Amino acid sequence: MHHLGHSGETKEMFQAQSHLYSLTSIFVSSMSLKCAVQLRIPDVINDHKQPITLLELASALRIHPSKTTCLHRLIRVLVHLNVFAETLVPKHGGGGEEEEVKAYVLTPSSSLLLSDKATGLSPFIVAMLDPALVAPWHFLGDWLQGNRENDCSNKLISPFEAAHGLNLWDYGGQNPEFGRAFNGAMAIDSQMMNLVIKDCKHIFQGLNTLVDVGGGTGTVAKTISEACPGLKCTVLDLPHVVAGLPESENVKFVGGDMFEFIPPSDAILLKLMLHAWSDEDCVKVLRRCREAIAGKNNERGKVIIIDIVISETEDDDAEATATKLFFDMLMMTVVTGRERTKKEWEKLFSEAGFRQHKITPMFGLRSLIEVFP
Which residues are 367's β-sheet partners?
Answer: 307, 361
Rounded Cα–Cα distance for residues 36 and 109 (Å): 13
Contacts from 169-173 at CB under 8 Å and sequence distance 24+?
Answer: 171/132, 173/240
Instruction: Answer whether 261's CB lies under 8 Å from 232's CB.
Output: no
State the catalytic residue, choosing from 6, 92, 164, 275. Answer: 275
| Amino acid sitting at position 152 | C
Sequence-distant (6+) residues with CB within 8 A of 352 are: 282, 283, 286, 287, 289, 290
Rounded Cα–Cα distance for residues 324 and 97 (Å): 51
Instruction: Please indicate whether residue 202 is annotated as part of the active site.
Output: no
Alpha-carbon dihedral 63, 64, 66, 68, rounded to 10 degrees: 20
Rounded Cα–Cα distance for residues 161 and 159 (Å): 5
Select from 300, 127, 292, 118 the least CA-distant residue to 222: 118
What residues are annotated to the active site?
275
